[in-house]
């Protein structure tokens, strides 16, 4: 509160005249003049540090009472698994197109999936525009198709796994043991290529047959996993452990990254580098029909499910938030008598093969 002085009285008179003038012109914003007042939000035009996470939770509360339960559950999963972990602490006023672009570039999904993931975010931004909390929509400057890599195409997500004979042919056709170790580990863990590249020796517990997936390499930059489910423990099958044991002599003493490009003796930087320098040539030497490297992940999933592994366990291993994606993507590989408990393939590998 200002002291009662002649100069402050004149200041208050000028401020009063200014406020009355803006009210008369219809441009008065309560928060412009009284930003710390508890009444600012009630009177609109809020200059606030409210976060995207708060707005998304408000959005979920609103649709819970107005939309179908299945719709609410779907949006809740999107918010909790994707949007809130990345944008939750960002203030509404600070949400810029560049930040959204960075998130989209790190996704390994189709443009249609990106559009679906953006639905809740788009809803709260449009509401903020209507309420005049912000003056422009950062999503208006986003062109999804220009942000996804060429490798992130529909063909990458078409499930076309290799069979056991093809997997053996690929591994036998590798020209260097480090390449074989990389591909063998990929086939028998189901990790995304970005997760394989980022894997470090400190993430591995060979004594217990477990790895901790906590990061990924996106655009040559090491980042944390994009979703809560993506950060996970993966139980290793015997072939995956075998690959790690074989890899120790190459990179263990160097610390840090597990898998290196044998041509450069440096860690792999991108999935495109692996595809161009190792994958394409190996598939050609194996004399089998070409599929992209992402099919190693599909191969793992279909192999586990067709072997009767528990669906929830497979979803957890692969970093999915629930079984919905697994059921939708790999349904035809799921037998009617799939296991009720997880990791049966880990404990009964000899019977499985």
The pLDDT tens digits of the residues spanning 83-98 come to 998 899 899 989 999 9
Is position 277 within any domain? yes
Q: What is the pLDDT of residues 136-185, one digit of tens each?
A: 999 998 998 888 765 554 555 678 999 999 999 999 999 999 999 999 99
Compute the residue count for the chain. 353
Residue 224 shares a structural domain with residue 92: no
Contact 115, 148 (CB under 8 A): no
Residue 97 shares a structural domain with residue 190: no
Q: d(Cα 345, Cα 313) in Å, to the nearest integer?
A: 11
Residue 338's pLDDT is 55
Identify the H or E element spanning 221: strand 221-224
- Give the list of residues 6+ apart from residue 193 with CB closer than 8 angstroms, or none: 186, 271, 274, 293, 294
Residue 47's pLDDT is 47
Residue 168 shares a structural domain with residue 313: yes
Residue 73 shares a structural domain with residue 171: no
Q: d(Cα 307, Cα 353) in Å, to the nearest integer?
A: 9
Q: Hunting for tokens 């992402």 — which residue is that?
A: 294
Regions of the chain short of the pLDDT cut 50: 46-47, 153
Residue 249 shares a structural domain with residue 298: yes
Q: Which domain CATH number covers 225?
A: 1.10.443.10
Residue 225's pLDDT is 61
Residue 315 shares a structural domain with residue 260: yes
| Residue numbers of the domain that contains 77 | 52-148
Residue 36's pLDDT is 60
Share of the chain above pLDDT 90, in %: 45
User: Quick count: other Cβ atoms within 10 Å of Cβ 58?
Assistant: 13
Give pTM, 2 decimals.
Answer: 0.57
Q: d(Cα 64, Cα 336) in Å, to the nearest integer?
A: 34
Residue 35's pLDDT is 62
């Amino acid at each position: 509160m200002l002291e009662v002085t002649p100069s402050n009285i004149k200041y208050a008179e000028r401020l009063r005249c200014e406020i009355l003038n803006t009210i008369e012109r219809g441009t008065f914003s309560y928060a412009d003049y009284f930003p710390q007042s508890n009444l600012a939000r009630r009177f609109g035009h809020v200059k606030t540090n409210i976060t995207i996470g708060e707005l998304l939770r408000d959005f979920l509360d609103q649709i819970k009472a107005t939309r179908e339960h299945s719709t609410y559950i779907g949006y809740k999963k999107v918010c909790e698994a994707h949007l809130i972990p990345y944008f939750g602490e960002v203030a509404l006023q600070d949400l810029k197109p560049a930040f959204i672009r960075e998130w989209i570039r790190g996704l390994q999904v189709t443009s249609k999936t990106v559009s679906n993931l953006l639905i809740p975010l788009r809803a709260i931004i449009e509401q903020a525009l209507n309420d005049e909390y912000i003056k422009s929509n950062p999503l208006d400057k986003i062109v999804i198709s220009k942000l996804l890599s060429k490798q992130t195409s529909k063909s990458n997500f078409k499930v076309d796994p290799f069979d056991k004979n093809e997997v053996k042919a690929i591994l036998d056709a590798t020209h260097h043991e480090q390449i074989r170790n990389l591909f063998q580990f990929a086939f028998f863990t189901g990790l995304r290529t970005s997760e394989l590249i980022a894997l470090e020796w400190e993430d591995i517990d060979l004594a217990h047959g477990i790895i901790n997936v906590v990061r990924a390499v996106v655009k040559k930059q090491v980042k944390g996993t994009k979703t809560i489910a993506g950060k996970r423990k993966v139980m290793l099958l015997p072939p995956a452990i075998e690959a790690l044991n074989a890899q120790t002599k190459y990179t263990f003493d160097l610390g840090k990254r597990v898998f290196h490009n044998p041509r450069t003796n440096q860690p792999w930087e991108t999935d495109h580098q692996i595809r161009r320098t190792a994958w394409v040539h190996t598939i050609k030497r194996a004399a089998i029909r070409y599929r992209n490297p992402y099919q190693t992940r599909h191969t793992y999933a279909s192999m586990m499910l067709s072997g009767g592994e528990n669906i929830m366990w497979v979803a957890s291993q692969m970093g999915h938030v629930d079984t919905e994606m697994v059921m939708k993507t790999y349904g035809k590989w799921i037998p009617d008598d799939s296991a009720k408990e997880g990791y049966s393939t880990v404990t009964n590998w000899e019977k499985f093969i």
